[in-house]
């Protein structure tokens, strides 16, 4: 497994997710070889993501980890052209399919993210370019 996915996996396993969340994701934004931070899906919405939730018929929906990784990026970082690594874990901490949804793809593309790398299962990973 890619080292940034491993990092995201470890962060997800150590994070306390709200029990009401149906899935557990961690997204890590990477600049070159520098990890800018690990972000998680959360029940709360955000003004920046709300237009996307409305567009996809999910007003007031939870913030997805990929979106959170962009919002949580350091203010002085140019995120254009960067890669986001996304992991989803089950209750036992095993990696599962975590391909960004249509809403996140649009969001990431709009914010200039170049590529998303994601877990498929314990052994495989996939990637998409924007
Ligand atoms: Zn999403």
Tens-digit pLDDT string for the chain (130 aa): 999 999 999 999 999 999 999 899 999 999 989 999 999 999 988 999 999 999 999 887 899 999 999 999 988 889 999 999 999 999 999 999 999 999 999 999 999 999 999 999 999 999 999 9
Cα-to-centroid distance, 12 and ligand 1 (Å)? 16
For residue 3, what are its two tokens?
């080292």
Domain range list for the chain: 3-129
Q: How far is ligand 1, taken at its centre, from the CA of residue 76, in Å? A: 25
- What CATH class is the domain 3-129? alpha beta
- 123: number of Cβ within 10 Å: 8
The whole model's pTM is what?
0.95
Cα dihedral sign, 8-10-13-17: negative
Residues within 5 A (CB) of ion ligand 1: 64, 101, 104
């Amino acid at each position: 497994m890619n080292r940034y996915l491993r990092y995201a996996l470890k962060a997800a396993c150590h994070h306390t997710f709200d029990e009401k969340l149906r899935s557990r994701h961690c997204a890590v934004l990477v600049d070159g070889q520098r990890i800018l931070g690990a972000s998680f899906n959360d029940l709360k919405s955000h003004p920046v993501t709300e237009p996307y939730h409305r567009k996809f018929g999910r007003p007031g929906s939870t913030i997805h980890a990929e979106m959170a990784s962009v919002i949580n990026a350091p203010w002085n970082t140019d995120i254009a052209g960067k890669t986001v690594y996304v992991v989803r874990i089950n209750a036992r901490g095993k990696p599962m399919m975590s391909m960004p949804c249509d809403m996140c793809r649009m969001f990431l593309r709009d914010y200039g993210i170049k590529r998303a790398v994601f877990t498929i299962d314990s052994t495989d990973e996939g990637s998409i370019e924007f």
